[in-house]
Structure 1
């Protein structure tokens, strides 16, 4: 590892490593429907990137008469069932890039607002030791777009957050990563990410390498040096 290489790479999960958003939308639709409501695709899109506690409140507003913890348990359980029955839909290039980072000894952390059991299920199915640690939604008090989860991951890895690169696919996600001080790369999937100076946009992870990450990291570090008084 050199000064041109990040000290760690922090990864969002849903929509970034795995294409689980359709599973979440199905679980939401089934849950709202069980209480006589209607849940549209557009409703599901509004949930992308939210912490589960926020999503639970929205579902309560849609007529789900359960407390937040029960909603979270039901949604997570249903998505885990779909992962078992339908398989894990990996995002293009994600596993390949994780494998290269692992081979090069770059520490990685999973930073997700999904609950620990689901995060652990995904990690176990990757097929190699991709992550040093998991920071999940049940590990933090404040969900994304608050930076708490990213700051916690850097602290637990023992590295400065400013020397970390974070991958995200959603508006709350890139907001959380950028606010933490991590060099942020947005890889939009279901929801378009607008161009913004606080992060770099990549259309896909397919074909990306550690060299590409290092290029973004060095450029962002130089820009930070310019604006720092």
Structure 2
């Protein structure tokens, strides 16, 4: 039996494709402490996968006397500086799987709550034509866990979201992907995905192939008609 290909594979960025979460937590701690506040690693973990403007309100409550826009752009700038200084830390197996998916001819999209400018830095660092579309946090009205980011990516690709696979590492990201109708594959990293909406959990992407990914989502995809096939009429 031939494995059905997905209409697209949609990737989260921070924590799934690249391990930038420590950069974010470091930048957050520096910012809060500069205003005399206290920011722990646990505080940072609570924001993993959340929208930047939603997170800005948390920093304001922690004593940061900046506007939401100023907070978002400050944190993004500090993370980008760390990427330049220390490199883009790819998650194990992520870039290899992404290349394998591209070679299989399946469209891909990057769906991140980071700003578009930062996402473009990561896309450029992949070293190959990695994505057909990009949806970033400053391109949507409703951030993850709302389904809009994934729905927007599918719309831009011109595909049915229920025929797509989404790769995520955080509870808000998994919730967003699952609510959109995509097959949500969770790859836990910093935050636990126990009890999340993930359809399937893989401990790592290391050593994984596109064929394994497509087969893992096979039952979900098989329940959907091909994009170029009409559903069979009932008798």
Q: Check whether the contact 2:175–2:196 (CA below 8 A) recurs between aligned residues.
A: no
Q: What SS class does the counterpart of residue 217 from structure 2 fall into?
A: helix
Moved over 3 A (4+): 195-198, 221-225
Residue matched to 1:170: 170
How many residue pairs get aligned? The number is 224
Q: Check whether the contact 1:195–1:201 (CA below 8 A) recurs between aligned residues.
A: no
The runs of 5 or more residues in structure 2 that have no matched partner are 226-235
Q: What SS class does the counterpart of residue 30 from structure 2 fall into?
A: helix
How far apart, in 1, do the equivalents of 2:52 and 2:116 lie?
A: 12
Q: Superposed, which structure 2 residues align to 1:153-168 within 5 Å?
A: 153-168=153-168
Residue matched to 1:62: 62
Q: What SS class does the counterpart of residue 214 from structure 2 fall into?
A: helix
Q: Check whether the contact 1:107–1:131 (CA below 8 A) recurs between aligned residues.
A: yes
TM-score with structure 2 setting the length: 0.92
How far apart, in 2, do the equivalents of 1:208 and 1:3 lie?
A: 16
More helix by share: 1
Q: Check whether the contact 2:3–2:215 (CA below 8 A) recurs between aligned residues.
A: no
Residue matched to 2:184: 184
Q: What SS class does the counterpart of residue 191 from structure 1 fall into?
A: coil
| CA drift at 1:223 | 6.4
Residue matched to 1:38: 38
Residue matched to 1:72: 72
| CA drift at 1:216 | 1.9
How far apart, in 1, do the equivalents of 2:194 and 2:224 lie?
A: 21
TM-score with structure 1 setting the length: 0.94
Q: Check whether the contact 2:9–2:165 (CA below 8 A) recurs between aligned residues.
A: yes
Residue matched to 1:210: 210
| CA drift at 1:221 | 3.3
Q: Check whether the contact 2:178–2:197 (CA below 8 A) recurs between aligned residues.
A: no
Q: Check whether the contact 2:13–2:111 (CA below 8 A) recurs between aligned residues.
A: yes
How far apart, in 2, do the equivalents of 1:33 and 1:115 lie?
A: 23
CA-to-aligned-CA distance 1:119-142 (integer Å, 9 cap, x gap)? 000000000001001100000000
Q: Superposed, which structure 2 residues align to 1:84-163 within 5 Å?
A: 84-163=84-163
